[in-house]
Amino acid sequence: MADTKREIERKYESDDSGLPDLTRVPGVASVRERGITHLDATYHDTADERLAASALTLRRRTGGSDAGWHLKFPVAPGVRDEIRAPLSDTLPDELAALVRSRVRDRDLLPVVRLRSDRDVRHLLDADGRMLAEVSIDTVHAERLTGAGGTARWTEIEVELADDGDPAFLDKVEKRLRKAGVRPSESASKLARALAETAQGAGGARTADTTPDTAGAPPAT
């Protein structure tokens, strides 16, 4: 059975210089290293990328604590509802039903594979409660259709803890910007992968645009 999680996060460019001292972020008492996780995700879409055109992502991912199928609907910039279903070889019927109005009679097929090494840290308050999860993701993207291009990059991702105050992300961003870290120009890993692995892309980048939220299901 699928369940829904509200995901509030921000992405930043990384030049492989690592993170600044995040204990200097107001409210952060300590930073706990959680180690490196290996993630392997295959993103599915129609041949003409109808899901990507609506800023939707559908993936099957292994590795980490939430292996399975994930369908992400945009809510607002930096906010998405992620609907999760257990890991299986084929797309669960309940997720297929949710994207049917977008794909109509087109087949869904694997379009991009992303393999990531995720170096995770938890930002904790004085009582040991998690405020946010910060990760440095080293990503290898492989296009599974067309000419089959590849791309590599490193990015920083900051995800707010469940029931956290979104204003906390502003405090983290202020500290990152002071250290020279800048927000990512891409709306998502998939958007960047599609742009940089496209035939003749030449390292082209995608702009971060406000997604179309029409038809997105309510959180459950």
Structure confidence by residue, pLDDT tens digits, 107-123: 999 999 999 999 999 99
Report percent pLDDT > 90 for the chain: 82
C-alpha 185/C-alpha 127 separation (Å) is 35
Token code pair at residue 5: 């999680």
At 187 the pLDDT is 85
* Residues 72-88, mean pLDDT to the nearest whole number: 95
Q: In terms of DSSP bridges, do strands 150-160 and 130-143 run parallel, antiparallel, or are they unpaired?
A: antiparallel
Q: Does 208 score more than 80 pLDDT?
A: no
Between 32 and 198, the higher pLDDT residue: 32
Q: Does 8 score more than 60 pLDDT?
A: yes
Q: Is the pTM of this model over 0.75?
A: yes
Q: Which of 85, 87, 91, 86 is nearest to 110 (CA)?
A: 91
Residue linked to tokens 């991009």: 112
C-alpha 155/C-alpha 183 separation (Å) is 9
At 218 the pLDDT is 37
Token code pair at residue 31: 């930073």
DSSP state of 196: H
Token code pair at residue 135: 């990760």
At 2 the pLDDT is 73
Structure confidence by residue, pLDDT tens digits, 135-172: 999 999 999 998 889 999 999 999 999 999 999 999 99
Per domain, the residue ranges of the chain are 3-197
For residue 94, the surrounding DSSP H or E stretch is helix 93-103
Cβ(68)–Cβ(86) below 8 Å = yes
For residue 42, the surrounding DSSP H or E stretch is strand 30-45
- CATH tag, 3-197: 2.40.320.10
At 172 the pLDDT is 98
At 215 the pLDDT is 41
Tell me the average pLDDT of the chain. Answer: 90
Please state, in angstroms and as integers, the Cα–Cα distance from residue 9 to each residue in 120, 125, 142, 165, following that order: 14, 18, 24, 12
Three-point CA angle 141, 194, 93, nearest 5°: 90
At 216 the pLDDT is 42
